[in-house]
Structure 1
């Protein structure tokens, strides 16, 4: 069984057409997978089902062979908005998942400082969210998601509101951090190039179903130059044609 397995999952609200219909998907340990598709296709709903925020009407989700019925403490979340607490400084925002349960110890504080260093924000540890740029706030949110050594990250369009250059920088930061921490990722996006650049596998969704699976056969170490290479653009075109219903 895969590290995360979505097994024939269907979900819908009462008396409504299902939002997700008979979806199966597997993520192996340490892999980065993206759910790609147009707005309203069911990407976020599937992520919520995979993470235990919603329960399927039919089928099941398994994390490390255990059925998922609620969010696990072994996973982290990063959403489109960084959702930082304005009255807490940077390091306290990173430590929030711990302080909700207990007072952080020295090891946990050191972990927060280590993560802030990895995302280039050591000198901002005492700053407040209003003093940070959008990209810096997103970096804090990523550090916060990693504070408890999650085995799996669920990310819902975390870079959608950022400018193109900052977005690319954060994509590189995210890949580096996840490879260092050996963290698996399920990432929601509507951006084709983002999905290809980040992922080992891309699932293309349409009307609540996965209609196409694309293994991304690119070197594991991604670079800015790779974005302009023929092989990268061919993969993007492949997905774009599938989204338009064209044969490849």
Structure 2
């Protein structure tokens, strides 16, 4: 059974131009799906609908069989900008989703420390966001999204502003975390190689519709050398041809 189901969704801003057009998409538990497309194609709008941040005009979204009307406490979000609070330390930023409602428990503080260690930030607990690099800030944002042990992650171009090497390191760390904790992922990007490297499936969105579904045939556990294989290059070329309106 699918973990997340987007079923016949349409959406228009202020009853004007239709942004999402009768779109259906299904993600199985533990899968990593990327939604790829040119700027303005509707991919971020679809993510907001899938996560409950927006309600569709028609159709519905189901998470673990339950209809989605608002963001679930079972999901985590990571956006393009880390949106960290500059006056709070790294550890306090990670614990923010909990401390907004109540005082974190000792166990939750230990979990935050454990996640920061996995994200290679175990020496930065008391640092402030302004003392961190862009890559480190992104790591804190991912750690914050994981603090409540979500079953589903929604990520909207979280690595877009980073340099190539940092981006690749974070891709590997994200994959490891999601696979180790069986987290289901919907990831938005405009980068073809990023989508192919991370994903079990890549959906190409064109003009508000899913135009193509690519099953990625790379090993489930990815390694850096996968980025240079003939299979990887062929998959990237297939996606590029679709985005360019060509044949696959």
TM-score (norm 2): 0.99
Match runs of 1:88-103 below 5 Å: 88-103=88-103
2:204 aligns to what? 204
Are 1:146 and 2:121 an aligned pair?
no
Are 1:44 and 2:44 an aligned pair?
yes
How far residue 14 of structure 1 moved from its aligned partner, in angstroms, is 3.1
1:128 aligns to what? 128
Greater Cα shift, 9-18 or 155-164: 9-18
Q: Deviations over 1:17-64 (max 9, x none)?
A: 210000000010000000000000000000000000000000000000
Q: Deviations over 1:88-113 (max 9, x none)?
A: 00000000000011000100000000
1:174 aligns to what? 174
Q: Deviations over 1:121-145 (max 9, x none)?
A: 0000000001000000000000000
Match runs of 1:1-248 below 5 Å: 1-248=1-248
SS of 1:14 mapped into structure 2: helix
Q: Deviations over 1:63-101 (max 9, x none)?
A: 000000000010000000000000000000000000011
TM-score (norm 1): 0.99
Q: Which ranges of 4 or more aligned residues in structure 1 deviate by more than 4 Å? A: none
- What is the alpha-carbon distance in structure 2 between the residues aligned to residue 212 and residue 174 of structure 1? 25
Unpaired stretches in structure 1, ≥5 consecutive residues: none
SS of 2:123 mapped into structure 1: helix
Unpaired stretches in structure 2, ≥5 consecutive residues: none
- What is the alpha-carbon distance in structure 2 between the residues aligned to residue 61 and residue 183 of structure 1? 18
How far residue 181 of structure 1 moved from its aligned partner, in angstroms, is 1.2
- What is the alpha-carbon distance in structure 1 between the residues aligned to residue 13 and residue 155 of structure 2? 23
How far residue 228 of structure 1 moved from its aligned partner, in angstroms, is 0.6
SS of 1:44 mapped into structure 2: helix
For this pair of structures, how many residues does the alignment match? Answer: 248
CA RMSD of aligned residues (A): 0.6
- What is the alpha-carbon distance in structure 2 between the residues aligned to residue 84 and residue 157 of structure 1? 16
- What is the alpha-carbon distance in structure 2 between the residues aligned to residue 162 and residue 211 of structure 1? 28
- What is the alpha-carbon distance in structure 1 between the residues aligned to residue 95 and residue 130 of structure 2? 18
